[in-house]
Amino acid sequence: LHGIGSGSGSWLMQLEAVARQSHRVGVLAWEAPGYGASTPVRPLTPLATDYAARLWAWLDTLGVRQPITLVGHSLGALMAASAAVAEPERVARLVLLAPAQGYGQADATLRQQKRHDRLHALQTLGPQGMASKRGAAMLSSHASTQQLTFVQHIMAQVNPAGYTQATHLLSQGHIAADLKLCRAPVAIASGRTDGITPMAGCQSLAKTLGVSWHDLGDVGHACPLEGAPQVNALLGLTDRVTA
């Protein structure tokens, strides 16, 4: 499950890893409701539960009934955590990459400011402008030009209406509350140079929950791309698995 300024294409390196492997593992990368050609959720100011319900309906349509490893990156972590609580028997493992924790428990003024800042940037810059201005913040300073171009390409395709709904989710979300109810094994991972969901916050969340934190190295927020080898190993998408 991808982040707020992203899409299913952000999992390209994981999909390519599956194509190269000798053992069989299936990977599904969704477009969140309101992204790509996906139908938005109904509420204009949705909660994580609205996205969770759509996730399970999507997997039902695809005939996926066996327990899965559910992976959420950034905002997708809020959706994934809610989904794991809603259908616990269907989640064998929950992996949260650079998880956004949400502002649901923050001071009302801060919560409103964070929401306003994102929506103002969308309204004034548009998806293409946001991609040009914010794309570099998704990566470390030593990321390649190709990685930056790819991140900007994905971000520029964001649907404004879907991004607006996702912004409301972020402002109301509280991932720790869901994770405290989660019955599946949980792993949290992030990069050392992530300026969007800093390492210290991810480590603190893991410590609070009593779960493992995995170091993805000197990579930025777009860790499925920039830290692909480490992420793929964590997810078991390489022939030689490490955890």
pLDDT digits (tens, 9 = 90+) for 21-65: 877 788 999 999 999 999 999 999 999 999 999 999 999 999 999
117-129 per-position pLDDT tens digit: 999 999 999 999 9
Angle between helices 48-61 and 75-86 (to 10 degrees): 70
pLDDT (0 to 100) of residue 239: 63
Q: Helix H segments across the chain?
A: 12-20, 48-61, 75-86, 108-134, 145-156, 160-172, 175-179, 199-209, 223-226, 228-235
pLDDT (0 to 100) of residue 25: 85
How far apart, in whole angstroms, are the C-alpha atoms of residue 64 and residue 68? 9
How far apart, in whole angstroms, are the C-alpha atoms of residue 103 and residue 174? 6
Contacts of 232 (CB under 8 A, 6+ apart): 13, 14, 17, 238
pLDDT (0 to 100) of residue 238: 85
95-138 per-position pLDDT tens digit: 999 999 999 999 999 999 999 999 999 999 999 999 999 999 99
Q: Which has the closest alpha carbon to 238: 228, 223, 224?
A: 228
pLDDT (0 to 100) of residue 24: 76
pLDDT (0 to 100) of residue 241: 43
Percent of the chain with pLDDT over 70: 98
